[in-house]
Structure 1
Amino acid sequence: MKRIFIAAYAILAISATAFAQPMMVGRGRASAVRPLALSGEYAEAEITALESELGARPIGELTVSEFTGYRARIEAAVRKDAYVRSTARMSMLFPGAGQLRNGDTAEGIGFIAMHAATMAGTLAGAYFLLPSDLRFENLDYLSSSKQDIHDALMSHSLQDYLPAMGVMVAGMIVDMGVRHWSSIAATSGAKAAIESGKARLNPYFGPGYLGMGMHY
C-alpha cells in the first residue's frame, strides 16, 4: 500500500509540476499548484483500486495513455474529497451554507433558521438577565456619556453578571452543536451530490491559469 501511495503521489506531482504556471489573482501572483491531499475517502479508495491494478508493476513501466488515465482518476478522487471537506467546513462556519451548496435548499434553510434562533435566543436571554438598570429602557447608551455607562457597568459585582454569562455560554454550546450537526449533514449531502452528479467539481491540478479553477 505504501508503494502505491507513493506512486499515486508521484503521478499527481509530476502532472502538476510539469504544466504549472503562475496564476494571476487580482494584481498579485499565486502558485497554481496546491498542496497534494491523498487522505480522503475517495482518494484512498482509488489508491486501493490502483494497488489492485498495478500489482508489483513499477510506475516507470506505465505508458503515456496509462499514466494519463491513472492521473485523471486520482485527480477526480482528490477533487471529490476536496469538495466534501470544503462543504463540511462551510456548514461548520455558517450552518446551512454547505446544504445550499449541495442543492439541499430546504435543509439549508432549516439549519440557517436553527442557527439564527439559537443566536437570537441567546442574546435575548442574556439581555433580560442583565441587571435592570443596564437595560436599554433604563440606560440610554447612545446619549449617555462614556463615564456614565462605565459607572453603571462597574456598579455591579461579577455575581450580578453570572446569569447573563451563563446564558451566553450555554447558547454558544448549543450553537456549536448546531454547527457540528450541520457539518455532518453537509458531508453526507456532499457525497450524495457527488454520486448523483449534482456537485460541481473544480479542477484541482493543471496548467496554471489556463481555465483551471483552483478553488480548494
Structure 2
Amino acid sequence: MITLYDLVFQNDRRPSPFCWRAKFALAHKGLAWKDEPTGFTEKHKIAFADAQLLPVIKDGEVAVKDSWAIACHLDKAYPDKPLFANEQERLAGQFTNGWTDVTINAQVFPLVVADLVDRVRPEDKAYIIESRGKRLGTADFAGFQARAREKGVSTLRTALEPARRVLREQKFLGGATSNYADYALFGTFMWAYATSPLVLLENDDPVHSWRERMFDQFDGMGRKAKAA
C-alpha cells in the first residue's frame, strides 16, 4: 500500500496545500493509501526520500517527493483513471500548479499566518515561529495578518480572475469533471479551511460554487476534514 507522509497540526488538522494535492490525486486514481502524520519537526520520517518538505509518498520501494512529481509518478505507475488525459491536460495542470504556487499561495499566506501559528502542534511551535518569522521579517504574526487582511482578501479575489473566467463556462477547471488542475488550486482552499475562519470568497463568485463542488468530490473528502 502507498504511504503518504502528510503534514499534521494540532487536533489532527491537515493543512498542507501540497499534501492535499497528493491526496486528491490518489483519490482521483482510486488508489488506497495510508496516512503517516508528520510534524514540522519530524523530518527524520522523510529522510529515506532525501526530503525536507512534504508531501512524500512511499510506493512499494519507490520514494517520491513533491506534489507535482507525485502526480506524474501516479499517472505513469497507475495509468487507469488518468490525472492527465493527454499532453495538453498535463501542460495545463503544470501551469495551474505553478500559478497557484507563485500567485495564489503567496496571496493566502499573509491572510492566515497567525492562524497557522496558533494551530500548529505545541512541539512544532518554535519551528514555525522561527521559520515564518524569518520569512516575514517579524514575529508579530497577529499584527502582520491584520494589516494583510485590510486589502489582501480583495487582492486575492482579483488574483483568482483567470480561474473565474473558466469556471463561468464549465463546472471544473478540467471541464465537466475535475482533474489535476482543480486539485492544485483546491489544495490552497483546504489550507485556509483547515486553519482559519476567514471568509475568502463571496457566495455569488463562480470560484465559490466550484469550491463547494470540490468539497463534495470523492465522497466529500475535503468537507469531512477538520476545519478551523
TM-score bucket of the superposed structures, by smaller chain: under 0.3
Which structure is higher in strand share? 2
Q: Could you state the TM-score of these two structures normalised by the residue count of structure 1?
A: 0.23
**Larger relative helix fraction:** 1
| Greater relative contact order (CA < 8 Å, ≥ 6 in sequence) | 1
Larger Rg: 1
